[in-house]
Chains A and B, each alone.
Chain A
Amino acid sequence: MVSGLKEKVGEVLLPGDEFCFEAEDTISLTEQVKPEKVVCGPGLRRSGDRLLVCKSGVLRHKQPNTFWIDSQQRRYVPVKGESVVGIVTAKSGDVFKVDFGGSEQASLSYLAFEGATKRNRPNVQVGDLVFAQFLIANKDMEPELVCIDGSGRANGMGVLAGGGLLFRVSLGLVRRLLAPHSKIESDLKQLFPCELVVGMNGRVWVHSCSVQQTLIIANLLQSCDTMTAAQRRELFRRVQQGVL
């Protein structure tokens, strides 16, 4: 199956496509064969001895045996450990309710901020933006966000204050932005100095020294979604020449 999967890497797959495990009759009895382990990411599901594709998109592969489907969906489904940009919609008792664009609002305890105690509550208002990560995220439970890491440090999370602009991009673009050695990010770096917070839920917060620059960055990023790398570089180059 692994070879079958590897052949298809980079190709577009549709729901209903499937891969079968190879027949076991080729295993020799004398040699010690290590069973191959395949890790299935989003869009792939195991069903008995078959592997089913359940989302349309491009099949990706990572060494040694991790496979997933890269799709361009817009609606976010929470995953434990992912960081998102959320909007505080209500304060109720000890928790804030946070909208992150999923099917349910997440809860965020007021103690889940760096340095927060029962006496020293964080200053969070309804309508504020928070950058937080999921502590609990599964389909059967209410999602829970925290603004601290395992050691109690903020580590960049917390309320996003001081102006800036929030806008939406597709989830596919977010993953491309956050990928290690992202080309878009390095291209963007050469334009203006700016602060960029990218949530896995497709919300991006950008802050730079002027309204003009913030708007340019927001519009550039939104248009990156439908451009090839060459088109993007050309556009970035033109912007750089036009503004500087």
Chain B
Amino acid sequence: MMEVCGSGIVNLREFGCEQSLLSRPDGSASFIQGDTSVLAGVYGPAEVKVSKEIYDRATLEVLIQPKVGLPGVKERSQEQSVRETCEASLLLSLHPRSSLTLVLQVLHDDGSLLSCCLNAACMALMDAGLPMSCLFCGVTCAIDTAGQIITDPTATQEKESRALMTFAIDSTEHRVMMSSTKGSFSVHELQQCIAVSQKASEKIFQFYRDSVRRRYSKTL
């Protein structure tokens, strides 16, 4: 068995978040992890197109806008990962026959983009006041060639890694809601990465709580 995370401590880059920064959307947030930053805007529950109407729940649409050019296959697959995570945590049945639109704009990609998208999405959904059964956050783990686990890798660390995994983790039971992996790894490594992500998610959820508390500090 390869030695993984010998030091016993992994680092998350510094993160930041700003809520309600756009005037038009019903909810908006920007999330920053190191240099990676994503801006998210949510509209809804709003009028839905007849062709997309679902009779017993809201239609959720997720759009990821790349910085350069038009969205391609990579963005589509990320959109799907984010959408499935959001669908699992939102109580969509409370707003049948309406539409929710979540737009994510990549502002800078310096690694761990999908997890940053997930975090921005969660903050924006919370800011929009949509009913959710739990919160979720994204954590990216990379396993480098030496077998060390790196959380929240930068773009260069991602490039040098042997395997890359992104997990969406829920806030109530810290379960894995979505996983997206690249590269090869053993079952043991996968379990370790999940355990690391679950630990890291606690920090992120605490950050969510702190930023929401700060936001409501004037109306307490």
Query: Are A and B direct contacts in the complex by CB distance below 8 Å?
Result: yes
CB neighbours of B89 from chain A (8 A): 15
CB distance from A231 to the nearest CB of B (A): 9
**A interface, by DSSP: helix, strand, loop or mixed?**
loop
Tell me how far the C-beta of A98 lies from the nearest C-beta in chain B, rounded to whole angstroms: 13
Whether A71 sits at the interface, judged by CB under 8 Å, is: yes
Q: How far is the CA of A161 from the CA of B95 in the complex (A)?
A: 33
* Bound CA span A15–B27, Å: 15
Chain A residues positioned under 8 Å from B98 (CB to CB): 103-104
Residue of B nearest to A71 (CB): B129
Interface contact B129-A12, CB-CB below 8 Å: no
Quick check: is B31 within 8 A (CB to CB) of the other chain?
A: no
Complex Cα spacing A12 to B212, Å: 7
B220:A139 contact, CB within 8 angstroms? no
- List A55-104 residues whose CB lies under 8 Å from chain B: 55-58, 70-75, 77, 102-104
Is B153's CB within 8 Å of the partner chain A? no
Report which residue of A104, A139, A227, A228 has the largest number of chain B beta carbons within 10 angstroms of its beta carbon: A139
| Residue on B nearest A53 in the bound complex, by CB | B132
Query: Which size class do A's interface residues fall under?
Result: 20 to 34
Instruction: Report whether B172 and A75 are in contact in the complex, using a CB–CB cutoff of 8 Å.
Output: no
What are the interface flags for B83-118 relative to A under an 8 Å C-beta threshold, 1 for contact and 0 otherwise? 000000101001111110000000000000000000
Cβ-defined partner of A18 (8 Å) among B45, B132, B172:
B172
Pairwise interchain contact A75-B128, C-beta atoms closer than 8 A? yes
- B residues in contact with A73, CB < 8 Å: 26-27, 127-129
Chain A residues lying within 8 Å of B215, measured Cβ to Cβ, are 72
Q: Does A52 sit within 8 A of B, measured CB to CB?
A: yes
Pairwise interchain contact B128-A77, C-beta atoms closer than 8 A: no
Question: How long is the Cα–Cα vector from A70 to B220 in the complex, in angstroms?
Answer: 10
The docked-state distance in angstroms from the alpha carbon of A45 to that of B132 is 10
Cα–Cα distance between A71 and B20 once the two chains are bound (Å):
13
On chain B, which size bracket covers the interface?
A: 35 or more
Q: Let me know if B220 and A77 touch, CB within 8 A.
A: no
- A75 contact set on B, CB distance < 8 A: 26, 43-46, 128-129
Contact A15:B26 (CB < 8 A) given known A56-B126, A58-B219, A75-B46 = no
Residues of B within 8 A of A14 (CB): 126, 135, 171, 208-209, 212
Q: Which of B44, B133, B170, B208 contacts A54 (CB 8 A)?
A: B133
A62 CA to B42 CA in the complex, in Å?
32
Question: Which B residues are in CB contact (< 8 Å) with A74?
Answer: 26-27, 128-129
Q: Would you give the shortest CB distance from A198 to chain B, in whole angstroms?
A: 18
List of B residues within 8 angstroms of A15 by Cβ: 89, 126, 131-135, 171
Tell me if B46 and A103 are in contact (CB < 8 A): yes
Please give, as numbers and ranges, the residues of chain A lying within 8 Å of B216 by CB-CB distance. 12, 57-58, 72
Q: List 20 A-B contacts (CB under 8 A).
A: A12-B212, A12-B216, A12-B220, A14-B212, A15-B89, A15-B131, A45-B91, A54-B132, A55-B132, A56-B126, A57-B216, A71-B129, A73-B26, A73-B128, A73-B129, A74-B129, A75-B26, A75-B129, A104-B97, A172-B219
Q: Which 10 A-B pairs have the closest CB atoms?
A: A73-B129, A103-B98, A16-B134, A15-B132, A75-B26, A103-B45, A54-B131, A16-B171, A12-B213, A56-B126
